[in-house]
Amino acid sequence: MAQPLLEVKDLKVHFETEDGIVQAVDGISYSVGRGHALGIVGESGSGKSVSSMTVMGLTRSSNARISGSIMFDGKDLLAAGEDEMRAVRGGEIAMIFQDPLSSLHPFYKIGDQLVEAHRSHNDVSKARARDRAIEMLGLVGIPDPRKRIDGYPHEFSGGMRQRVMIAMALINDPKLLIADEPTTALDVTVQAQILELIQKLQHELDTAVVMITHDLGVVAEVAEEIAVMYAGRIVEYGSSDTIFSAPEHPYTWGLLKSIPRLDTPRDQELVPIFGRPPSLINKPSGCSFHPRCPYVREAHKKVDPVLEPSGSADTVHKVACLLPSETRRSLWAALRAGETPEAAIEEVPIPEKTLSPSAEGQTGGEVPGP
């Protein structure tokens, strides 16, 4: 297969703080091909945003310890200097954030901000840059772009501002668009508009997309492959069909069973994941999900699971779980049939000693093959 556009290998981002070392990202690997869409799902504090900010070179600070490699289109971004990174940021890789109001400068007309974004990467005249800005505003669906280009951010609604942000992100034809919770602040009808726009642009401009979100519905609509993050690691990786129909990690099950959804019976009980996400300074020993996992065994508190192929029909599917794979599949079958974790445990015997095959290796996150 061709070289992926973005290849992150064993990335670790640790921050030194007064309270100790925060292991925000702790050895993750993933890759995104040209024109493809990857979803990264996780709760707050799972490291999903820090890992993407690191791709953009936005986490470089004196207390940050970054290791691993980030290969983008043949360049190692971790080794790149600040000048090189400035050329990449907003040029080949663009990013849109959750809150479009705080990402736009309130003092300048949106046209000026778009023109500046284009001219800082391209040697073109102001007039040409302005034409390009009008073209982009039209492309993202802003009505009457010739007039609206001279508006200030406060004159736009939330959805329109997010469109302006997308226009700015795409004005330099990036190869990769990182969208960090792009629709979280928006109403559901506007969210639908923005998701449709991102998908349309992905297909028309062949831009690769990394969509970071906590909303499983959003990734189901946009992403082809999904990485589920927990406590700085990828705990499950697979095609979006696999993640939703045959997930094998207890955390993924927990997420899927704890959200109310429109396509299940109304009276179906929500099964919350008990406890709360761990501190990234003092991570639990062994599997970091073990304090919240209903299927935990003594051995899981000591052995750190490795992300490894699940052996299912989906060749990219990988799981970091110490349960033997047949046990995982029987448990999910029971949960899927509507049973509670307690009932599932009674039905499926969970072996105390047997661990998943390569549990002896202790190397943190693994590479989901390109």
Partner 1 sequence: MSATAGEPLVEVRDLEMHFPIRSGLLSRQVGAVRAVDGVTFDVLRGETLGIVGESGCGKSTTARLITRLLDPTGGSINWEGRDIAGLGRKELKPLRREMQMIFQDPYSSLNPRKTVGTIIGEPFVIHGVETDERKRKGLVQDLMEQVGLNPEHYNRLPHQFSGGQRQRIGVARAIALKPKLIVADEPVSALDVSIQAQILNLLKDLQRDLGLTVIFIAHDLSVVRHTCDRVAVMYLGKIVELASSEELYAHPRHPYTGALLSAVPVPDPRLARNKNRQVLGGDVPSPANPPSACRFHTRCPKFVAGTCDVDYPELSPKDGGNVAACHFPLTDEEIARRVPTAAA
Q: Give the separation between CA 98 and CA 304, rounded to whole angstroms.
A: 33
What is the footprint of partner 1 within residues 105-164 (CB under 8 A)?
A: 157-160
Q: Is there binding between residue 81 and partner 1 (CB under 8 A)?
A: no
Q: Examine residue 266 and tell whether it contacts partner 1 (CB under 8 A).
A: yes
Residues in the interface with partner 1 (CB under 8 A) total 44
Q: Does 101 bind partner 1 (CB under 8 A)?
A: no
Side-chain-facing half-sphere of 1: CA atoms under 13 Å: 8
Q: Please tell me the distance from the alpha carbon of residue 94 to that of residue 90, in angstroms, as a whole number.
A: 5
Comparing CB distances to partner 1, the nearer of 2 and 188 is 188
Alpha helices in the chain (DSSP H): 48-55, 82-88, 100-103, 110-119, 126-139, 145-148, 158-170, 188-205, 216-222, 240-245, 250-258, 325-336, 341-347
Closest to partner 1 by CB, 41 or 133? 41
- Give the range of 98-106, 208-216, 293-301, 317-325 binding partner 1 by CB under 8 A: 208-216
Whose Cβ is closer to partner 1: residue 106's or residue 260's?
260
User: Binding to partner 1 by residue 166, rule CB under 8 A?
Assistant: no
Q: Which is nearer to partner 1, 67 or 258 (CB)?
A: 258
Closest distance of CB 341 from partner 1, Å: 13
Contact 227, 237 (CB under 8 A): yes
Examine residue 287 and tell whether it contacts partner 1 (CB under 8 A).
Answer: no
Ramachandran angles phi, psi of 306, nearest 5°: -105, 145
| Greatest alpha-carbon span in the chain | 71
DSSP class of residue 89? Answer: B
The candidate with the shortest Cα–Cα distance to 92, out of 3, 208, 194, 183, is 208
- x/- track of binding to partner 1 for residues 211-250 (CB under 8 A): ---xxxxx-xx------------------xx--xx-----
Contact set with partner 1 (CB under 8 A): 43-44, 157-160, 187-193, 195-196, 214-218, 220-221, 240-241, 244-245, 254-256, 258-263, 266, 269-274, 276-277
